[in-house]
Chains A and B, each alone.
Chain A
Amino acid sequence: MAVTDFRRQFAPRPPRQRSIPRGVYAIAVALLVWFVAWRMFNGVWTLPLQSAEVTPLHLWLNEVNAWVRDNRDSNVLFVLVFDSIRIGVGAVAALFAQLFVQTDVGLQLPEIGWLGVVALVTWVAAAVGNYRVAILTAVGFTAFGVLGVFTEAMWTFALTLTAVLFSVAIGLPLGIWAGVNKRVNGILTPILDFMQTLPSFVYLAPLALLFLIGPASAVIATIIYAVPPIIRLTAHGIRSVPATIAEAADSLGVSKRQRLMTVLLPLARNSMVVGLNQTVMAALAMVTIAALIAGPGLGQLVVQALQSLNVGRAFVAGFAIVVMAIVLDRVTTAASRRAELSARHSTPLRRRRRIIALGAGLLVVAAAVYLSRSVLAAARFPAEAAVGEALGARINDVSAGFQNTFSVFTASLKDGFTIRVINPFQGLLTATPFLVVMLVILVIAVTVGGIRAAVISTICLLLIIAVGLWEDAMITLASTLIATVITMALALAVGVIMGRSDRVDRWLRPGLDAAQTMPAFVYLVPFLGLFGPSRFTAIVAAIIYAAPVAIKIIAEGIAHVSAEAVEAAQSTGASPWQTISKVQIPLAASSITLAANQGLIYVLSMVVVGGLVGGGALGYAVVAGFSQNALFGKGLAAGVAIVLLGIMLDRITQAAVARRRRIVPVTRRVRDVTAPLPVTH
């Protein structure tokens, strides 16, 4: 009895044995049909559209664009709604900008000077967190000056702060509402899912249309991007308050308000802080990207560096962003921990001592502010102390040397891969009649994800045809799939090693975290130097961007395979390779599928960025539509097509995750782990 149980648990599981051969069979037939159709009907019914060509739908969207531009001053909706939102948000942003960045008058120094800024943020870090994060903050903010990007960094900081403020003001009540009300939660969840699969570049153009360009619209774009985590995690925190505790409170006769204030909110606090942390990180990532709609800050430096292929400058700006991300992350984390600890360990004596220390700190802040307002060196970071430019130049030299040395190798690598892999696969997708491609996708959707996924896929594909971008969508799909496959191969290799060894994990994790914090652009610059503008470059950038997430998820999955199962395998004499392939990977199957899901979404969110470096197709259409009025409509349609591809791939893989999960349960829910760190689209 025990023996059979054991076998049932650890041998290849029956459900897989049953379903896979049938699925493999179906997919094999579909692929065969595909191949034959490709050979026979090459180039027929492929729904092509040249890059300058547009459809009536695109033209109509152009007209909408023109209409808005012409009527935004007279239209009530714009004057009352969009403009007042923009002005309100802009006013708050301007306030922070004045404090931290520059005033509009005179020398245009920050109101409290750079020294005052550093002193103030350090004090805040000490007050909400602890002395360690305070030191980190002081060092980090001074580093902005040393890197020569103080003003830009402060713009980024001010806009992030504004966006976070609004995100919290909007997200907290919504999250609470969703937490206590099932119906609201049911309505919000799919909207948030959708918002999080939406690549951020896609909504910049429509946003600029509604809110114009500049800091205010940068903040609005950032709010849209950053608000989901706090809503989601607030609601999640409230909903996961143990029923036993809520019930006990009810039995004591709490009113609804008391229940919320004394039980639900305190218990949801940790989850809310995690949400706040994710919101802050997402805001930082998006503020950077909002450089494209004239959002000031470090993002501008990165965009400029991208345009002049200046690796050194991109690095300096990117490094500053990573520093800010680390500071914000550590301070919010420390703040949550401190609130918890102080409730427990504070004695009146300790409390008094702390208050005195903070009061003294406040005097130091005041002194620093005073100094900043009277001494120029304390007001404007002394340029002599900045080393950013020199650092950038050094990096440029190194990178130029590297490029010269390897240019032959990189060129042949790129050409070889493009000719052997990208072109054939893309050809298969674009040169086969669209009906055949649809059919193949549907067979795969049914097999991997089930009927529901297939229905959604059909709808998505039909809509892609309707927006007139089938061929572009297929090119993008080809690159996306190639990038995802490589990402997964990489993630499996690294993730398994990481999951099996704590030491490797400790070594790699900070690097992965930092890689996830970097704005997506920053990667592009060196690869652009190495490979030139091409689909290959876009694919490499996407892999680099998506791999950290996938690696982390797989490592987690492998690490959480029950130790007993591994011991059992080892006790039967399994070699390390057998343990990996026969126990750990099968048992981590749902994590691996989840990694594939996230990998796909991340890769897809790089499509637009890829468009900036020769990725072509949908990404190019979005970028071009963003910058050329004649292509506005097409760009918008391309954005929609990317979203549709995203929904399709997401649904198929999600359904696959759900199926796997039924076989091997994992504790974490898919949506709750989307971004352990910020998602930089």
Chain B
Amino acid sequence: MSATTLTPTASATSDTAVDFAVRNLWKVFGADAQRIASDPSFTGHSAAEILEETGCVTAVRDISFDVAHGEVFVVMGLSGSGKSTLVRCLTRLIEPTSGQVMLEGQDIMKLGAKELREVRRRRVSMVFQHFGLLPFRNVLDNIAFGLEIRGIGTAARYERAREVIDLVGLHGYEERFPDQLSGGMQQRVGLARALASDPDVLLFDEPFSALDPLIRRDMQAEVIRLHRDMGKTMVFITHDLSEALKLGDRILIMRNGELVQIGTGDELVGAPADDYVADFVSDVDRTQVLTLRWVVAPVPEGLPTDGPGLPATTVIVDAIPTVLGSTVPVRVFDGDTLIGVVDRDAILREIMGVKPAAVRHGGASRAGARAGRVG
């Protein structure tokens, strides 16, 4: 079960170093961009209203988040919600209107053109939905392209490119041209090109959206494997919830340029910040995502202490054999602390998709975390 290999680190900020720290980021397209980003009088207005009034598109609106070192950070939202704009603002492929972007403590916004190029050449690489390969270069030259523009000699860059080719499973395709490859293979080239410069952070903008479902699954597995092997920080854009849940340590949900919720997969499913998120996650098989933490009941009086126990991070579906096989409620531990129990009823309720009042209530209680609703 892949989800277990990527069990989320629950907290928003952990002790580990932060790779990206984004604060109050805005991106407005149009003539009045600066004014809209700074003028509080627009605060109450929806993106659609602003568009109507000023003709400007508010693509990213006052967004803040951190990406921890080694984390897979997923940004998710419907098409047009500003995901691509957001990820491009991180390396200023799109110039943000205002806000702050820190990369490993360095202020990206203050970099000159040359330093910025250095960041793109060495520290942050990107993989694109439509691959962005150079059609007149073969696979090897495409992969070596980033090294070439860094001025690395032919022999050295081919050597490096060959290493990466093996890494992404393109062996034997070196001399092919992009239009001779399937979409999946092309995206492997895109991935290899991004990896070739050995960056600290990889950005993915819906890399698998254009691929067939089966190939998409392979590629997702590939990313998971690479992350496990190399431990690189990744910012991953997708509009596909299952992909987000599969890959993301944490997930940021966007709507109309605004941040709606940040959290681990089970946080989103277990405690959606609002109806938008709830709607988003409604089709998810909760047993596959939620951990026992979300279904624990208070410890009943006189529970025998020798019964079975499970860690709170166990996904429900993995807990089913234990719980159904036990005659008594199973105890759930967070580390060494007993936080509650799970019984057959609770499990069956989840399997059947019946939501207990407590969970819905839990969602409501988190309403403070909601971004202000617009409309």
Are A and B close enough to touch in the complex, i.e. CB under 8 Å? yes
Residues of chain B at interface, number, CB under 8 A: 31
The listed residue with most A CB atoms (<10 A of its CB), out of B117, B122, B177, is B117
A251–B126 contact, CB under 8 A?
A: yes
Q: Per-residue 0/1 for A313-346: is the Cβ within 8 Å of any B Cβ (1 yes, 0 no)?
A: 0000000000000000000000000001001100
Q: Per-residue 0/1 for B155-187: is the Cβ within 8 Å of any A Cβ (1 yes, 0 no)?
A: 000000000000000000000010000000000
A252–B134 contact, CB under 8 A?
A: no
Task: Say yes or no: is A267 at the interface (Cβ < 8 Å to chain B).
Answer: yes
Taking the closest CB of chain B, its distance from the CB of A247, in whole angstroms, is 6
Main secondary structure of the interface of A (DSSP, over half): helix
B128–A248 contact, CB under 8 A?
A: yes
Task: Say yes or no: is A9 at the interface (Cβ < 8 Å to chain B).
Answer: no
Q: Which of A247, A252, A269 contacts B193 (CB 8 A)?
A: A252
Task: Say yes or no: is B149 at the interface (Cβ < 8 Å to chain A).
Answer: yes
**CA separation between A266 and B135, bound complex, in Å?**
9
Give chain B interface residues in 66-94, CB to chain A under 8 Å.
88, 91, 93
Give chain B interface residues in 190-232, CB to chain A under 8 Å.
190, 193, 197, 203
Q: Per-residue 0/1 for A242-269: is the Cβ within 8 Å of any B Cβ (1 yes, 0 no)?
A: 1011011111111100100011001101
Say whether, besides A252-B146, A252-B197, A253-B117, A263 and B134 are in contact (CB < 8 Å). Answer: yes
A250–B120 contact, CB under 8 A?
A: yes
Task: Say yes or no: is B130 at the interface (Cβ < 8 Å to chain A).
Answer: yes
Q: Per-residue 0/1 for A108-136: is the Cβ within 8 Å of any B Cβ (1 yes, 0 no)?
A: 00000000000000000000000000000
Main secondary structure of the interface of B (DSSP, over half): mixed
**Cβ-closest chain A residue relative to B84:** A247
Taking the closest CB of chain B, its distance from the CB of A241, in whole angstroms, is 10
Q: Which residues on the B side are within 8 Å of A267 (C-beta)?
A: 134-136
Q: Which residues on the A side are within 8 Å of B128 (C-beta)?
A: 244, 247-248, 251
B93–A250 contact, CB under 8 A?
A: yes
B133–A252 contact, CB under 8 A?
A: no
Task: Say yes or no: is B233 at the interface (Cβ < 8 Å to chain A).
Answer: no
A244–B134 contact, CB under 8 A?
A: no
Q: Which of B93, B132, B177, B197 contacts A245 (CB 8 A)?
A: B132
Task: Say yes or no: is B23 at the interface (Cβ < 8 Å to chain A).
Answer: no
Q: Which residues on the B side are within 8 Å of A269 (C-beta)?
A: 136
Q: Which of B88, B129, B135, B149 contacts A252 (CB 8 A)?
A: B149
**CA separation between A247 and B121, bound complex, in Å?**
14
Give chain A interface residues in 51-68, CB to chain B under 8 Å.
none
A253–B132 contact, CB under 8 A?
A: no
Q: Per-residue 0/1 for B260-289: is the Cβ within 8 Å of any A Cβ (1 yes, 0 no)?
A: 000000000000000000000000000000
Q: Which of A262, A340, A344 contacts B145 (CB 8 A)?
A: A262
Q: Which residues on the A side are within 8 Å of B125 (C-beta)?
A: 251-252
Taking the closest CB of chain B, its distance from the CB of A578, in whole angstroms, is 41
Q: Per-residue 0/1 for A596-639: is the Cβ within 8 Å of any B Cβ (1 yes, 0 no)?
A: 00000000000000000000000000000000000000000000
Q: Which residues on the B side are within 8 Å of A340 (C-beta)?
A: 136
Task: Say yes or no: is B294 at the interface (Cβ < 8 Å to chain A).
Answer: no
Q: Which residues on the B side are within 8 Å of A244 (C-beta)?
A: 128-132
Give chain B interface residues in 132-149, CB to chain A under 8 Å.
132-136, 145-146, 148-149
Taking the closest CB of chain A, its distance from the CB of B159, in whole angstroms, is 18
Task: Taking A253-B122, A254-B117 as given, write out 13 further A-B residue pairs in contact, using a Cβ cutoff of 8 Å, ordered by the A residue number.
Answer: A244-B131, A249-B132, A249-B145, A251-B91, A251-B93, A251-B125, A252-B146, A253-B116, A253-B150, A255-B117, A263-B134, A269-B136, A344-B177
Name 16 interchain pairs, CB-CB below 8 A, sorted by A.
Answer: A242-B130, A244-B132, A245-B133, A247-B88, A248-B128, A248-B131, A248-B190, A250-B93, A251-B91, A251-B120, A251-B128, A252-B125, A253-B119, A253-B149, A262-B148, A267-B134
Q: 9 shortest A-B CB distances, which residue pairs?
A: A248-B132, A253-B120, A253-B121, A251-B126, A253-B117, A252-B146, A244-B130, A244-B132, A245-B132
